[in-house]
Amino acid sequence: MRPTYFYLAIPWLGCLVACSIVNLFYFPNTIVFPDEQRFLASAVRLAASGEFWVGGDRAWEMPGTAVFFAPFVLLFGADAAILPIRTAQSFLIVVQSALIALIAQRLFGKTIIAFIAASLVALYPFFLFYQGLLLSETLFNALLLAGIASLYWWRERGLRIDRALVLTCACFAAATMTKATLAILPPLLIAATAWASGVPLRRAFAILVVASCLYSALLSPWWIRNDILLGSFVPFTTNSAQNLYLGNNSRNPDAGIDWSSEVDPAVVARISALPDEVGRQRAFSKVAIDYIKENPFVFVRSAAKKFVRFWNVVPNASGFKTGLYAIVSAASFGPILALALICAMRRWCQWRLLGPLYLILGYFTLVHVITIASLRYRLPIESILILLAAEPLAAFIERVRRNVARSA
């Protein structure tokens, strides 16, 4: 791996330079999106009081992003912390690139594939853009890749119940504490990896039990805290049901994500007036599930539209469907998606090795075709797609090299 990391100094430096340009000259010195205001406000309140709040709620989202931002708020103040946070997130892109190199080397055993995958991650336009926003995506992506890298390290060590398994659970738990999308997937993913690697079903079940206990233990402080504050078991967040409702209601036939026009304002007003956030969660969940039960065919049609939204090669928002944003998106994600599919076909007989990656891709897709879909929510799995895309791209480059050498 030394040659890989030596040569990767070039794209890593390019990544940091590109991030600096984006942070200093593209984005203003203030936050851009409303979600950024929410994350920053939570970090400010956490730094000042030591308590995690999201507005007036205690468990509306996971606390990891606020915990990550809070030290910068303490050091620099709320307004001056924006650029240092962006800078820290630019280094997280380099971390993601290094993790992809590790995973690629373990999967394919070729330095050129690791180099290509890591370089693509370091310079991928969407990652460069989102690191300049004070959102949860960049931190979550890094922690998710750390979990995947640990998972394959654990597999390489013989799938034992050891420190590698503990580290894998810890990385996935940290990712979940940042963004609740993973939910119960990590123990299932770990057990599926063991089974796909040839472990007997009985041992795979034992690994599932141990991984579930480890993962639960690592998340238990959040559970205990929520039970004390809310008087109810809240394993993840209280806003997930709102997303389920937004994606499944009679005012949203096109499967959009606009709270201002694609929900029933009377229903939202009634539920939002409830004083208890757990009660609001249950109410939104009931309305959404009742709608799905009453309109199963509409739900399936809506899920198909969300699938298209999730995997679209150009942005879904009307202001970004054309022009430079659409060109950059199609020119970057389009080839990555095509090459990833080629890799899946080329390496179809290695499904046991690549199965964990396919499971993650399928899981994220399923979650977002059920709830709400957006290109932003696809960001965590784009590193995986880049990893897969690097394999046929490296094969093509090596073939060109051989042809050139023969003709020389």
- Partners of 57 in the β-ladder: 54
Longest distance between any two alpha carbons in the chain, whole Å: 76
Amino acid present at 398: E
Q: In this predicted structure, what is the pLDDT of residue 399?
A: 92
Cβ-contact 298, 356 below 8 angstroms = no
Query: Quick one: which of 200, 205, 171 has its CA closest to 188?
Result: 205
Q: In this predicted structure, what is the pLDDT of residue 4?
A: 55
Query: Quick one: which of 397, 399, 365, 366 has its CA closest to 382?
Result: 365
Q: In this predicted structure, what is the pLDDT of residue 318?
A: 67
- Partners of 54 in the β-ladder: 57
| Residue 235 CA to its chain's centroid (Å) | 19
Q: In this predicted structure, what is the pLDDT of residue 1?
A: 45
How many CB atoms are closer than 10 A to CB 87? 17
Model pTM score: 0.95
- Give the DSSP letter of residue 180: G
Evaluated on CA atoms 236, 238, 244, 246, the torsion sign reads negative
Cβ-contact 359, 77 below 8 angstroms = no
pLDDT in tens, the chain (408 residues): 444 567 889 999 999 999 999 999 999 999 989 999 999 999 999 999 999 999 999 999 999 999 999 999 999 999 899 999 999 999 999 999 999 999 999 999 999 999 999 999 999 999 999 999 999 999 999 999 999 999 999 999 999 999 999 999 999 999 999 999 999 999 999 999 999 999 999 999 999 999 999 999 999 999 999 999 999 999 999 999 999 999 999 999 888 999 989 999 999 999 999 999 999 999 999 999 999 999 999 999 999 999 999 999 988 876 666 678 888 889 999 999 999 999 999 999 999 999 999 999 999 999 999 999 999 999 999 999 999 999 999 999 999 988 888 886
Q: Which phi and psi (to 5°) does residue 90 adopt?
A: -65, -35
Query: Quick one: which of 231, 138, 238 has its CA closest to 180?
Result: 238
Q: Name the token pair of 356.
A: 């964990």
Evaluated on CA atoms 266, 267, 270, 271, the torsion sign reads negative
Q: In this predicted structure, what is the pLDDT of residue 315?
A: 82
Residue 312's SS3 state is coil
Cβ-contact 47, 67 below 8 angstroms = no
- Give the DSSP letter of residue 350: G
CA 44 – CA 247 distance, rounded (Å): 31
Q: Name the token pair of 230.
A: 């809310």
Cβ-contact 316, 374 below 8 angstroms = yes
Torsion angle of C-alpha atoms 278, 279, 280, 281, degrees rounded to 10: 50
Helix, strand, coil percentages (3-state) for the chain, rounded to 5, are 75, 0, 25
Give the relative orientation of helices 163-178 and 64-76 as an angle to the nearest 10 degrees: 70
Cβ-contact 114, 105 below 8 angstroms = yes
CA 292 – CA 37 distance, rounded (Å): 33
Amino acid present at 64: G
Evaluated on CA atoms 296, 300, 301, 305, the torsion sign reads positive
Q: Which phi and psi (to 5°) does residue 54 adopt?
A: -125, 95
